[in-house]
Amino acid sequence: MLAGEDLNTPVSAAMHRGTLPAGKRVRPILLILAARDLGHDSAALIDLGCAIEMVHAGSLIVDDLPCMDDASLRRGQPTIHRRFGEDVAILATVGLLARAFATVASLEPVDSGVRARLVSCLPEAVGTQGLVRGQYEDLHEGLRARSASAITTTNELKTGVLFSATLHMAGLIAGASEAQQHNLHRFAIELGHSFQLLDDLTDGEPDTGKDANKDLGKSTLVGLLGAEAARQQLVGHLTRADAWLTRVYGADGQVSRYIRSLFAAALPAPQQSSRAYFHDGGIR
Amino acid sequence: MLAGEDLNTPVSAAMHRGTLPAGKRVRPILLILAARDLGHDSAALIDLGCAIEMVHAGSLIVDDLPCMDDASLRRGQPTIHRRFGEDVAILATVGLLARAFATVASLEPVDSGVRARLVSCLPEAVGTQGLVRGQYEDLHEGLRARSASAITTTNELKTGVLFSATLHMAGLIAGASEAQQHNLHRFAIELGHSFQLLDDLTDGEPDTGKDANKDLGKSTLVGLLGAEAARQQLVGHLTRADAWLTRVYGADGQVSRYIRSLFAAALPAPQQSSRAYFHDGGIR
């Protein structure tokens, strides 16, 4: 999707570097697995996955800016504004969003009715009811004391909406029923909470590829509840996520296995509270 | 289009303030007149016009940021980052772009084939072959000595591409022929140059609503050629713009009259060089 870019311009180079290195590609993989398990497979999945990843990469560049989190490291590398300058970082973000929307708009070969619905998914996830609002709340409310429910709402906007758009797109392209779409949406929300908690729990660890202790002073669920209670919450979200998946795919879908392996690798050795999820195959 | 926004959040308030005050609305008016003169009139024109204006407003917010032009005044008011903070300004830009794309994506009632083509217009104009690149070049090349042709190319990217998208959208929705689309495109490019020259010529004047002498030190056509030569170039662009319009609409289109009145009001009293355009009805 970025192949047409002239890498000699700093903005294009920044777009590449923001998108291409060493990410886990969770959203594109989820999209592809979720659609395949519903019986759909086509080259359009790759294009859609790239579009989602470009939106995600753009949101990370914004997140790291001096006037936002002022981060110096991301994925073990200097952040985009540190490497290319703030102006280039902002223009690269705009370029990535535009390229993502253009990619979905020119998606082939997809029925035009489906494509029209796909085209709305990304801007809705990005806008003032999605990433933009989550980023604002995180920045402006994050330094105050907040209730667990206020933190949860912000996390949903910051992380949940793009997962939700990802699964919605998978459902749309695969022709999912309304009930399946509902269950995928609920799965996406639980998954968003899981990732946000994982991010909070690993803040301060040396090998995250990000600035250590970036969240110090911010009100997070880990700060509010303590690490062990947050970990239990995480496992609760994962278990519920799994239950929603089961309603769509039965007991042995690829999405479920992928998520399980991802969190097993990222979390420290499971304790009693998470045995049911990690070792007994989740609550079915 | 912004009616659904909750104005109590600073990001939404910044989106409103960036879009709603006292602009000339050149692009929406052009879109509506261009489509009407081709025989099309529908409520969708208003939605499309709003989408284009939101993109334009977003580009102005970015343009004014401290890491870009670092402007303090726009349309006689404090710039968005001065009033709301830099973080809110950047999030408002992302919000405006997302809202613009979402507006076009959900355009009703327009044939789905036409809508699919409309949806691609804005991201293409915004991206690395459009506004993003123009902004980068203006910022990084603008302080060096440049040839008139290099300045002209940058101006085309900074100003021409969104006019071009505007006219392209008008042509698409009105079912223009390929030849008409070609002529509208050529008109848009000439118009973009005219506006850029007008902006350069009025830089430093007290009542532009912007910081005075913002372009001091930048290589502009006015700086390179002098004001009178630049003014002659402007009239040349306007005359050619008019000639392209004539091929689409004949000798008395509304678009032509609108552009003529706009520039007659903005330019100082016409001199010999511009008599043909302003008083003799353009070169037909």
Instruction: Tell me which of B87, B106, B131 to substitute to probe the interface with A (most A C-beta atoms closer than 10 Å).
Output: B87
Mean of the pLDDT values across residues A215-241?
85
Residues of B whose CB is below 8 A from A126: 94-95, 97-98
pLDDT tens digit sequence for B221-235: 888 888 888 899 999
Asked, for residue A5, whether it belongs to a domain, the answer is no
User: How far apart are alpha carbons B173 and B104 in whole angstroms?
Assistant: 12
**B284 — pLDDT class (breaks 50, 70, 90):** very low
User: How far apart are alpha carbons A225 and A198 in whole angstroms?
Assistant: 14
Q: Report the residue of chain B nearest A108, measured CA to CA.
A: B116
Q: What is the pLDDT of residue B283?
A: 41
pLDDT tens digit sequence for B76-131: 889 999 999 999 999 999 999 999 999 998 888 788 788 888 988 999 899 888 88
pLDDT tens digit sequence for B38-47: 999 999 999 9
Q: How far is B120 from chain A (nearest CA, A)?
A: 6
Pick from B90, B128, B130: CB nearest A62: B90
User: What is the residue-wise DSSP string for chain B?
Assistant: --TTS-TTSHHHHHHHHHHSSS---HHHHHHHHHHHHTT---THHHHHHHHHHHHHHHHHHHHHSTTTT--SEETTEE-HHHHH-HHHHHHHHHHHHHHHHHHHHT-TTS-HHHHHHHHHHHHHHHSTTTHHHHHHHHHHHTTS---HHHHHHHHIIIIIHHHHHHHHHHHHHTT--HHHHHHHHHHHHHHHHHHHHHHHHHTT-TTSSS-TTTTTTS--HHHHH-HHHHHHHHHHHHHHHHHHHHHHHGGG-HHHHHHHHHHHHHS-S--GGGHHHHTS-S--
Asked, for residue A251, whether it belongs to a domain, the answer is yes
Strands (E), chain A: 73-74, 77-78
User: How far apart are alpha carbons A236 and B70 in whole angstroms?
Assistant: 48
> CATH number of the domain that A106 lies in?
1.10.600.10
Tokens coding B137: 């070049």
Nearby residues of A26 by Cβ (< 8 Å), 6 or more positions away: A195, A262
**A213 — pLDDT class (breaks 50, 70, 90):** low
Most confident of A124-133, B170-179, B223-232: B170-179
DSSP conformational letter for A78: E
User: How far apart are alpha carbons A108 and A250 in whole angstroms?
Assistant: 30
Most confident of A71-75, A150-154, B224-228: A71-75
Pick from A86, A88, A119: CB nearest B119: A119
Q: Report the residue of chain A nearest B5, measured CA to CA.
A: A128
- CA B153 from chain centre, in angstroms, equals 15
How many helices (H) and strands (E) chain A has is answered by 14, 2
pLDDT tens digit sequence for A17-27: 888 776 789 99
Contact A79, A121 (CB under 8 A): no
Q: What is the pLDDT of residue B1?
A: 56
- pLDDT of B53 > 80? The answer is yes
Q: Which of A277, A284, A255 is nearest to A38 (CA)?
A: A255
Q: Which residues constitute the domain of residue A33?
A: 10-278
Count how many domains chain B has: 1
A241 class by beta-carbon count within 10 Å (0-12 exposed, 13-18 middle, 19+ buried) = buried
User: How far apart are alpha carbons B178 and A39 in whole angstroms?
Assistant: 41
**A146 — pLDDT class (breaks 50, 70, 90):** confident
Nearby residues of B200 by Cβ (< 8 Å), 6 or more positions away: B215, B220, B221, B222, B223, B230
Nearby residues of B217 by Cβ (< 8 Å), 6 or more positions away: B143
CB contact under 8 A, B115 and A116: yes
- pLDDT of A283 > 50? The answer is no
Residues of B whose CB is below 8 A from A11: 128, 132-133, 136
- pLDDT of A90 > 60? The answer is yes
Asked, for residue B268, whether it belongs to a domain, the answer is yes
DSSP β-bridge partners for residue A74: A77
| Complex ipTM | 0.90
Question: How many C-alpha atoms does A266 have within 13 Å on its Cβ side?
Answer: 22
Residues of A whose CB is below 8 A from B86: 67
Most confident of A147-156, B44-53, B136-145, B208-217: B44-53
Q: What is the pLDDT of residue A284?
A: 37
Q: What is the pLDDT of residue B60?
A: 93
CB contact under 8 A, B113 and A112: yes
Instruction: Tell me which of B1, B107, B136, B157 to substitute to probe the interface with A (most A C-beta atoms closer than 10 Å).
Output: B136
Task: State the amino acid at position B157 in one-letter form.
Answer: L
Mean of the pLDDT values across residues B61-80?
92
Sign of CA dihedral A273, A274, A277, A281: negative
Q: Report the residue of chain A nearest B12, measured CA to CA.
A: A128
Tokens coding A169: 């797109």
Place of tokens 């000439």: B190
- pLDDT of A15 > 60? The answer is yes
Q: Which of A70-74, A119-123, A137-141, B161-165 shows the lowest per-residue confidence on average (mean pLDDT)?
A: A137-141
pLDDT tens digit sequence for B263-277: 988 876 555 556 667
Place of tokens 């509010």: A224
Q: What is the pLDDT of residue A155?
A: 82
Higher pLDDT, A279 or A35: A35
Tell me the angle at which helices B44-64 and B112-126 cross, rounded to the nearest 10 degrees. 10
**B5 — pLDDT class (breaks 50, 70, 90):** low
User: How far apart are alpha carbons B173 and B254 in whole angstroms?
Assistant: 18
Q: What percent of chain B has pLDDT over 90?
A: 50
Asked, for residue B4, whether it belongs to a domain, the answer is no
